[in-house]
Structures are given as structure tokens and as C-alpha cells.
Structure 1
Amino acid sequence: MSLTSRITHHASRFTHHTSRFTFDILLVGVGGQGVLSIGEIVAEAACRRSIPVNLYPIKGMAQRGGFVKAQVRLGREVTGPNIPQKGADLVIAMERSEALKAVRFVRPGGDFVLFDHVWVPMAVMLGKADYPTPEQVSEQIQEAGGRMHYLAPESLPLYKGVPVPANIFVLGAAVGHTRLADVLSPSDIVQIVQTKWTRGMERNVFAFQAGLEAPIQES
């Protein structure tokens, strides 16, 4: 299936909501994964559809491996930065241990996308803490009433022999497999990706396209 036909297929799910519609997204991961870029793309895509958007990025340690979080709140002209516990319609987690910390924010019936990247903290390396297993994360999501969408790092496709950017791939998976496609237009996201990175544009568009059709495990 061509890029155009894939985008058209997924665009059929898109609905332009009124200003009364609200949708809260929590993004978590570690430094260097492009978590904030996901938030920026989502925010711009919302603006293109005249959906009120508030983006609140938070960084931990200013280095690769420090925690990174962004909260994207759609459909409200003015709102606070903190999504309440059990209040996120969608959680996208780019790292396993940060995913476990974020479980308490997914609302019952909400979507939880986990890209199961492993970044072992120093406390775990020193034997002072345990690192969660995928099963533990899955159990917690199910107990919270969320729907888990699992992406193994091995599912990251190659473009000309090089792995595609994981953040754009995961964003594509979220659009392809969650209610995010009912909020934002996939074609808008492609246009944003094309203009955001003129260098490597084809690779990023390929990553998003691959994410739309990614083999994802759901529970």
C-alpha cells in the first residue's frame, strides 16, 4: 500500500471535533528519545484543526537518560498543566520504567502505548532497586482499566539500513491504533514532519507510515 493510500485509509477515522471536545495526552520517556518532539507535532496538528491546545514540557536531568515528560491538553482554551491521576485519554511511554510511573494517569478505558525501550537507572545498576518487567507494566495497566498497545524495540523498521526515529514511529503507531486518529489528521502530521525536518524528511515520513501499520500487541 502506498503512503498516500495508507494516509487516506487512516484519515477516514478522523473527525473534526467541536470546542467542547477534550483529550488529554501524557508523554513520558528519557532524554534523547524525542519525547518533546512528539508533543510539539501533536500540538501543531491540533492547531491546524483549530483545536485549542496547551503543551506543558517537563525535563528532569538535562542529559541523555534523564526523565522527560510532556502533557498535551486538547480542547480547552485555558487549563492547568497537570493531568490528574486517571485523567489521561492517551499515555505514550517511550521507556519501560517511566511507563510504570505513568500508569496511574491513564483513565479507565484509555489507551496506553508502550515502546519497550530499556534504560537501566544507576540505582538498578548498583543493586538498590529492581527494574520492572514488561509483564509487571502490563498488569498495572490492566488493573488501571487501560488498553495496552505494546511495541517491542525490535519492531523498529530500517530505512536504507538505518533504524528509523523511534519517536516518529511510535507517534504513527498511536495514530494508527488508538483514538488519537479520531482527534488529529494523519495527513496534517505528515506535512508537519516534512517541514520540521527537511534533512531526513523521507526517513521520518517512512517512520510515521510504518508506525501506522506497525505490528502491535494489544491487551
Structure 2
Amino acid sequence: MVKSILLVGVGGQGTILASKLLTTGLMEAGYDVKMSEIHGMSQREGSVSSQVRYGDEIQSPVIEIGGADILVSFEKMEALRWFKYLKPNGKVIVNDYEIDSMPILSGKEEYSQGIIDEISSRASTIVIDAQKYALQLGNSKVMNVILLGSIIKAMELEAINWEKIVRDNVKPQFVEVNLKAIEVGMNLL
């Protein structure tokens, strides 16, 4: 059985790092994994997406419209922008966090109000204030790993040795805070 996870955010949020940790963990657990990432001006608050597909045999890294089992949005406007990729019975995990992306900063779009209400009315939605928990851990940059923890729990991937994955892929000075961040994220679901 193939599972598809779509991670979306804004440049600088650590979306790609979270997807790489996820992919590494899935591979070490023996899954066939394909990952595709789009950096869309990520250095300038542009949209960033990462598609992770895993199972016994994966032919393509690309998630088709209506094909994601779970949509994990690191920034709430991105959840709305990518919503069409969610399966009809899929789940959304959305970080209740706003960043003005390039279209908003340039005046081409306005930041939509009521995003979480709209998404919640259309799909099973879990809302997380990852910034609040990251600040409690003393490092705002671990929002991405908190959200990774929520993916681990939502996709029932707790049996994977995430401590090893973090220790092998994160700078030593940030290992402990990232391990705590995964635990926080898993406990939010």
C-alpha cells in the first residue's frame, strides 16, 4: 500500500529538512521511498513543497491532485493553496502560523482570513501552534520538527528509530532540542 505525504510551507521554515528526516526514517524502516521537492524562491519567503511517497514499491515521487493521504502545512495559507492535492478522506495538519509570502508582500494577493475554519469544514483537520511549543523548548527553529512529530504519530510511524535519525542528521548542538521537539509533536495528536 502506497502512502503519500505532502509537506508545504514558506522558505526558511525547515520544510525540506523535515521531509529529509522523514524520508531517511522511512528508508531505514525498509520502505521504498521517493521524495520530490520544489523550492519556489524559498530564500525569499516563496512557497516550498515536498512530496514523500512510501510503500512496498513506489513508481513516482509525484503526488497527483487528490492523491495525498495527509497534507502538512507549516504555514496556514499554504494549506489552502495546496488543499486540492488532498484525498477526499485525507487529513490536514496545519500550523497556526502566518508568514506573508511573496505574492502577499508584492501586493498580488491578500492574506485570507478564516483559513483554518475553511479547511476544517472541508477535511479532517488538526491545528497545531508549533511556534508556541518551539518557544517553550527555547528554540523557535524547531517548529518543523514538532510538525514532523505530528506526522510520525498521524501516519503511525512511531516504531522507527527517530532518535537515531536525528542524531545522524542534525548538528550535535541541536540534537537534544530536536528529540524533544519530535516528542512534543507526537504528543499533540
When the two structures are superposed, what TM-score results if normalisation uses the length of structure 1?
0.77
Count of residue pairs the alignment pairs up:
188
Secondary structure of the equivalent of 2:30?
coil
Is 2:127 the partner of 1:150? yes
Gaps of 5+ in 1: 1-20
What is the letter of the counterpart of residue 199 of structure 1?
Q
- 1:32 aligned to 12, 25, 29, which one? 12
What is the letter of the counterpart of residue 142 of structure 2?
P
Secondary structure of the equivalent of 2:19?
helix
Gaps of 5+ in 2: none
Q: Structure 2 matches for 1:17-166, cutoff 5 A?
A: 21-75=1-55, 77-125=57-105, 127-133=107-113, 135-143=114-122, 146-158=123-135, 161-163=138-140, 165-166=142-143
RMSD: 2.2
Which one has a bigger Cα radius of gyration? 1
Write out per-residue CA displacement over residues 144-183 of structure 1, whole angstroms, 9 at most, x where no aligned residue. xx2111012453244664435110011112223x2x11xx
Change (3 A) 1:64 1:138: same
Q: CA deviation at 1:69?
A: 0.7
What is the letter of the counterpart of residue 32 of structure 2?
P
Q: 1:62, 1:151 → 2: CA distance? A: 23
Q: CA deviation at 1:82?
A: 2.3
What is the letter of the counterpart of residue 203 of structure 1?
V
What is the letter of the counterpart of residue 210 of structure 1?
V
Q: CA deviation at 1:186?
A: 4.8
Is 2:162 the partner of 1:189? yes
